[in-house]
Amino acid sequence: MARKSSQQNGRLLVIDDLKVEVKGKEILRHVDLAIDKGETHALFGPNGSGKTTLLMAIMGFPAYQVTGGKIVFKGQDITALPLNERAEMGIGLSFQRPPTIRGVKTRQMLEIFDKGEAEIKSMAKGLDFEEFLDRDLNDGFSGGEIKRSELLQLTAQDPDFLLLDEPESGVDLENIALIGKVIEELLQRELKPQEGKSRKELKRERWKSGLIITHTGYILDYVDVDRGHVLMEGELACSGNPREILKTIKEQGYEECVNCCRI
Amino acid sequence: MAGKREEKKDLARVAAEKRAAFGADINMDDYSPETAAHPYQDDLSAFSQAEQDQMLMAGVDFSAKNRSGTFVQKDLSVVHSRSTQEGMEIMDIEEALKQYDWLHEYWWQAVPVDMDKYTSRAELHQEHGYFIRSMAGAKSVYPLQACLYLEQDNLAQDVHNIIIAEEGSELHIITGCATAPHVTQGLHVGISEFYIKKGAKLTFTMIHNWADKVAVRPRSATIVEEGGLFLSNYVCMQPVGTLQMYPVAYLVGEGATARYNSILVAPPGSEIDVGSRVLLKARGTRAEIVSRAITTGGKIIARGHINGLVPEIKAHLECKGLILSDEGVIHAIPELEGHKQEVDLSHEAAVGKIAQEELEYLMARGLSEDEATATIVRGFLHVDIEGLPPELKAEMDKAVEMSEKSLL
Ligand SMILES: Nc1ncnc2c1ncn2[C@@H]1O[C@H](COP(=O)(O)OP(=O)(O)OP(=O)(O)O)[C@@H](O)[C@H]1O
Ligand SMILES: [Mg+2]
């Protein structure tokens, strides 16, 4: 019943009373979150509050064990689905610390998604990544190179729902602009004026969605997001206008922001 | 010369029962020392399709289009031998010994004839083998290929090969060893002595495609003179009964370099004991030993020994093992030995299963667990080899890929 109505509302992701454990320790509890088709949300919260854990649980990493509640994606309960099946359903994640895989080239990762030589070249060019294509995957990549490599792979994968964990951290100013632009495109955030269509109509035509973790909010200068959430000690403590939340956190801290929400 | 050969034979007789330092002790009387002779084939296409298929798995190109010469020995008969490039010699070692008196000076100069019962046997029962030489300053346009083939079941094949890269020359060799499809057992004892003269470069890519119960005991050594380069690639991904070898390179001239690269796969029933050893005996010499071992149920001992005898040398040993079955064993034994203060020796060894983190990374991109495993294993086996010409790298990748299919 609930499933049907969520579909009708254009719900892409519905998280219901989620509880997640890592190595037997409860990290997340009572997490409820809904993201509609075409929407991008921001996730804030202090270090160790469980933001990465939430993303990993949505993607389906076995170490992040769901011990209660459920995750529904595109109307299907995916709580028990393996990683690769979630990827196939259209969920994509950028890793913060991806492992080095010896003998596997970044280029091969793009070929997985049936990208031809020309397409690979132009995608890599867009992220200034051509010289790394034939290096072992993630081998000795700098922080900024990792971000670009992850985004390059996500561009090839082209998922409907993107999970981005601090995409701007450790990235220099020039590259933030570059990365911001790519994410904006991946999430269809840019609204190109079109004759006879209002902004509202244009927004409704989007089908890409995302959840972006950010501390600094720099990425929000490039990617306009619809909603923000604050995670505190494993619970979603506040939701609302992302820019207002960020402003409150910056000026008064997380506690105050959460108090503010409660009112 | 005859006297010298007699001396070697005497030494060999004394060592006839001498057990090898490593590997299972083989009862060589179990194998037949004789078989019918095979006719010489001038035309490579005269080989049967089955033979071509088996040899192809060992890197032998029957079109010979991209080869500067070909040598094929079937059982105890040399059935084809021809060079197609000026300055490159490839021939039956017996012929070469007749033709060149000086060649006796190279006979058992790198490998001691009384090393063990296998070198002894090779001297006392030797039937052919190949002689390959690049003349001073000559460069092989395409690699030369040599194939040692076992057609007769349960045969003992004892060969002695000599390879000489004369001063300033560049020689590329692909050698394959294979068995006919119906062969299940046999013994192969192969002596290979490599001599790399001043400023010469030799790349030697050896691919083994044996059978379930074949016993293999190669004995090889390389002497590298000043500024010379020896690059050895060894691939054994097909089943083998018992294989033991520990080739050694002596870097005797300043600035000489040796690189050994081995790819080993042991399916259930295979026992592989393979190592590489380099003695750095002159200043400015360099060595690198890299091995990749995978067990899907067999046993692999991966050895490596670097011995730095003089100052200002640098060498590295890397030994990685992947265990894909709980029935399998990988035992890595890397050894570093330094005799002077100014030696720079290092090693890196790791044995284990596929990292969960790597699997999950690929699965998050949509690969199934099996696909992700295959991708990681493939990457593990595809080692970038510095100094190997791209065409040879392609040949090696091809051999690895053909075997991967049965592995995964
Ligand atoms: N693999 C793990 N093993 C042990 N503890 C873990 C593991 N993963 C997460 N945790 C713990 O779970 C809690 C939440 O971690 P998480 O990485 O989700 O926080 P975060 O909100 O992303 O923090 P940050 O802002 O620092 O990235 C932390 O206390 C962390 O130590
Ligand atoms: Mg985090």
Atom of ligand 1 nearest to the CA of A46: 25
Atom of ligand 1 nearest to the CA of A51: 21
Residue B11 near residue B121 (C-beta atoms within 8 A): no
Around A257, how many Cα atoms within 13 Å sit in the side-chain half-sphere?
27
Q: Report the amino acid identity of residue A35.
A: I
Which residues sit opposite A161 in a β-bridge? A91, A209
Q: Report the amino acid identity of residue B120.
A: S
B383/A103 touch (CB, cutoff 8 Å), yes or no: yes
Question: What does each C-alpha distance from A175 to A172, A190, B36, B241 come to in angstroms?
Answer: 5, 19, 72, 56
A102/B380 touch (CB, cutoff 8 Å), yes or no: yes
What is the SS3 assignment for chain B? CHHHHHHHHHHHHHCCCCCCCCCCCCCHHHCECCCCCCCCCCCHHHCCHHHHHHHHCCCCCCCCCCCCEEEEEECCEEEEEEECCCCEEEEEHHHHHHHCHHHHHHCCCCCCCCCCHHHHHHHHHCCCCEEEEECCCCECCCCEEEEEEECCCCEEEEEEEEEEECCCCEEEEEEEEEECCCCCEEEEEEEEEEEECCCCEEEEEEEEECCCEEEEEEEEEEEECCCCEEEEEEEECCCCCEEEECCEEEECCCCCEEEEEEEEEECCCCEEEEEEEEEECCCCCEEEEEEEEEECCCEEEEEEEEEECCCCEEEEEEEEEEECCCCCEEEEEEEEEECCCCEEEEEEEEEECCCHHHHHHHHCCCCCHHHHHHHHHHHHHCCCCCCCCHHHHHHHHHHHHHHHHHHC
Question: For residue B358, which residues of chain A lie inside 8 Å, CB to CB?
Answer: 99, 101
Q: Report the amino acid identity of residue B196.
A: I
CA-nearest residue for atom 6, ligand 1, is: A22
d(CA A14, CA A37): 11
Atom of ligand 1 nearest to the CA of A50: 18
Q: What is the pLDDT of residue B392?
A: 81
B358/A101 touch (CB, cutoff 8 Å), yes or no: yes
Interface test with A, best of B292, B357, B365, B397 (most A CBs within 10 A): B365
CB atoms within 10 A of CB A195: 4
Question: For residue B366, which residues of chain A lie inside 8 Å, CB to CB?
Answer: 84, 87-88, 112, 157
d(CA B327, CA B310): 43
Ligand nearest to the backbone CA of A95: 2
Encoding tokens for residue A129? 């990544």
Q: What residues are in contact with ligand 1 under a 6 Å CB criterion?
A: A 22-23, 27, 45, 47-53, 63
ipTM of the shown complex: 0.92
- For residue B385, what is the nearest residue in chain A, using CA coordinates? A103
Residue B294 near residue B381 (C-beta atoms within 8 A): yes
Full-model pTM: 0.87
Q: What is the pLDDT of residue B53?
A: 87
Strands (E), chain A: 11-22, 25-36, 40-44, 64-73, 76-77, 91-94, 101-105, 136-137, 161-165, 209-213, 227-232, 235-240
Minimal Cα–Cα distance from B290 to chain A, Å?
A: 14
Q: What is the pLDDT of residue B2?
A: 67
- Integer-rounded Cα Rg, in Å, for chain A is 18
Residues in chain A, pLDDT under 50:
1-8
B378/A95 touch (CB, cutoff 8 Å), yes or no: no
Buried b (16+ CB within 10 A) or exposed e, B9-44: eebbeebeeeebeebeebebeebeeebeebeeeeeb
Encoding tokens for residue B205? 């890519």
CA-wise closest residue to B262 among B288, B239, B218, B232: B232
Pocket probe mutation, ligand 1, options A52, A67, A163, A213, max atoms within 8 Å of Cβ? A52
Residue A215 near residue A45 (C-beta atoms within 8 A): no
Q: What is the pLDDT of residue A1?
A: 36
- For residue B367, what is the nearest residue in chain A, using CA coordinates? A84
Question: What does each C-alpha distance from B221 to A28, A220, B62, B261 come to in angstroms?
Answer: 62, 65, 29, 15
> What are the φ and ψ backbone dihedral angles of B122, each rounded to 5 degrees?
-60, -35
The DSSP letter of residue A98 is P
Question: For residue A93, which residues of chain B lie inside 8 Å, CB to CB?
Answer: 364
Residue B276 near residue B246 (C-beta atoms within 8 A): yes
d(CA B198, CA B247): 21
pLDDT means per 10 residues, chain B with 408 residues, are 85 97 96 93 90 85 88 96 96 97 97 98 96 97 94 96 98 94 95 98 94 96 98 94 98 98 95 98 97 96 97 96 95 97 95 96 96 93 81 81 76
B379/A84 touch (CB, cutoff 8 Å), yes or no: no
Candidates B366, B369, B383; nearest CB to A87: B366
Q: What is the pLDDT of residue A9?
A: 55
Q: What is the pLDDT of residue A263?
A: 54
- For residue A93, what is the nearest residue in chain B, using CA coordinates? B364
Interior CA angle at B160 toward B155 and B164, to 5°? 150
Is B362 exposed, middle or buried, given 0-12, 13-18 or 19+ CB atoms closer than 10 A?
A: buried
